[in-house]
């Protein structure tokens, strides 16, 4: 647990609550407002009294004014399904501060805030290696703060390996988690096949989506130049390139444009976008940037 989030930061995270613009439609009770009528403290509406109704729910003050019997209806509180899509492809291991290590910290924080709020948490790593199937089983349908220690332990055991399957993973996740909730996608969004179809699939199912793009400082502002041999971390393909100082400016502009297009794509579909460097102090991202970005309050 200490390797992912410090005890001091955990205490501060306990004061936060995930924001959800849509009402929960889950059938399990929790602490989220839903459209269902129940007996929580949040008043929803009135209806006419019919014989057999609970007399304790009659609004006697209204009866005194109108001389008619009405029952108070309340919004029942439900849990919020929270799904974290964690990019565990080999490219996420890149960087002096590996992107995957940073992504696991963010996943741990989002999961902890949700568990403290009595929401239901599922982590979907992708791609999923055969040696991690058993671990991932313990990251599904997690509930309650008491589950957080084991939740952190399993996250810490995950490794980044394999080829990215971004769109396929999100499409599969959208089909599996049909109940609208909160979906958080943690990735560098550098999949060769793009990210568009995957994000569209999540948006189509009505989930509230947060896209956190995690890039290393070396990707954003490379310092190496000259005659280089570039190796694709996922396919092993090699290519020799000559990268002079004069091309650094063009490279940075290309990266900036790519991130800008992703941000615009997300905004057009109601997806909240956040760019984070893997060397960002985790406290700054969680307590400042992600609060400003609408993840929680």
d(CA 161, CA 93): 8
pLDDT digits 0-9 by tens, 184-202: 999 999 998 999 999 999 9
**Containing H/E element for 111?**
helix 99-116
Please identify which residue in the block is written with the tokens 């205490």. Answer: 11
pLDDT of residue 35: 46
Helices (H), 182-286: 196-204, 217-220, 248-268, 282-284
- Inter-residue contact 83 to 184 (CB < 8 Å): yes
Place of tokens 């399993």: 154
| pLDDT recorded at residue 75 | 52
pLDDT at 47 over 90: no
Count of positions (residues) in the chain: 297
Q: Give pLDDT, residue 17.
A: 86
Q: Does 3 have pLDDT greater than 70?
A: no
Confidence band for 37, pLDDT divided at 50, 70 and 90 = very low
pLDDT of residue 237: 78
The whole-angstrom separation of Cα 48 and Cα 55 is: 12
| Averaged pLDDT, 37-57 | 68
Long-range contacts, 230-238 (Cβ 8 Å, 24+): 233/90, 233/91, 233/93, 233/94, 234/89, 234/90, 234/91, 234/162, 234/163, 234/164, 235/163
Question: CA-CA distance, 108 to 155, in Å (whole number)?
Answer: 7
Q: How many CA atoms lie within 13 A of 272 on its CB side?
A: 18
State residue 265's pLDDT score.
98
Asked whether residue 31 carries a pLDDT value surpassing 50, the answer given is no
pTM over 0.85: no
Q: Report yes or no: 33 and 128 within 8 Å, Cβ to Cβ.
A: no
Closest CA relative to residue 213, chosen from 92, 112, 97, 96: 92
Whether 38 shows a pLDDT value over 50: the answer reads: no
Residue 283 is predicted with a pLDDT of 96
Instruction: Name the average pLDDT for the chain.
Output: 86
Query: In this predicted structure, what is the pLDDT of residue 250?
Result: 86
Across 163-256, the runs of DSSP E, i.e. the strands, are: 182-187, 208-215, 226-231, 238-243
Is residue 7 over pLDDT 70? yes
The domains found in the chain, sorted by start residue, are: 7-23+80-292 (3.40.50.410), 29-78 (no CATH)
Phi-psi region of 104 (alpha: psi -120 to 50; beta: other; left: phi over 0): alpha
Write the pLDDT tens digit of every residue in 75-97. Answer: 545 578 999 999 999 999 999 99
Structural contact between residues 166 and 193, judged by C-beta atoms closer than 8 angstroms: yes
pLDDT in tens, 117-172: 889 999 999 998 777 777 888 999 999 888 999 999 999 999 999 998 999 999 99
Choose between 45 and 273: higher pLDDT.
273
Q: What is the pLDDT of residues 251-291, one digit of tens each?
A: 889 999 999 999 999 999 999 999 999 999 999 999 999 99
Read off the tokens for 186.
């943690």
């Amino acid at each position: 647990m200490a390797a992912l989030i410090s005890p001091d930061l955990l205490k501060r995270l306990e004061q936060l609550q995930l924001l959800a613009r849509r009402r929960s439609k889950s059938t399990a009770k929790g602490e989220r407002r839903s459209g269902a009528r129940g007996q929580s403290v949040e008043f929803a509406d009135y209806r006419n009294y019919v014989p057999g109704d609970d007399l304790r729910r009659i609004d006697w003050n209204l009866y005194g004014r109108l001389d008619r019997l009405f029952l108070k209806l309340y919004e029942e509180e439900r849990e919020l399904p929270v799904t974290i899509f964690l990019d565990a492809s080999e490219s996420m291991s890149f960087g002096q501060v590996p992107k995957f290590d940073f992504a696991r910290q963010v996943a741990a924080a989002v999961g902890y805030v949700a568990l403290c709020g009595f929401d239901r948490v599922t982590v979907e790593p992708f791609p999923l290696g055969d040696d991690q199937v058993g671990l991932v089983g313990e990251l599904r349908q997690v509930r309650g703060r008491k589950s957080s220690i084991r939740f952190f332990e399993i996250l810490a055991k995950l490794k980044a390996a394999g080829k990215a399957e971004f769109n396929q993973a999100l499409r599969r996740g959208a089909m599996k988690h049909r109940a609208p909730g909160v979906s958080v996608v943690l990735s560098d969004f550098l999949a060769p096949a793009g990210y568009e179809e995957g994000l569209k699939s999540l948006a189509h199912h009505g989930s509230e989506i947060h896209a956190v793009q995690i890039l290393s400082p070396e990707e954003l502002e490379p310092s190496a130049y000259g005659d280089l041999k570039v190796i694709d971390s996922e396919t092993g393909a090699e290519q020799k390139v000559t990268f002079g100082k004069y091309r650094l400016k063009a490279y940075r502009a290309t990266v900036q444009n790519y991130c800008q297009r992703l941000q615009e794509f997300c905004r057009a579909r109601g997806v909240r976008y956040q760019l984070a460097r893997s060397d960002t102090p985790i406290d700054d991202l969680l307590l400042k940037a992600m609060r400003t970005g609408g993840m929680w309050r």
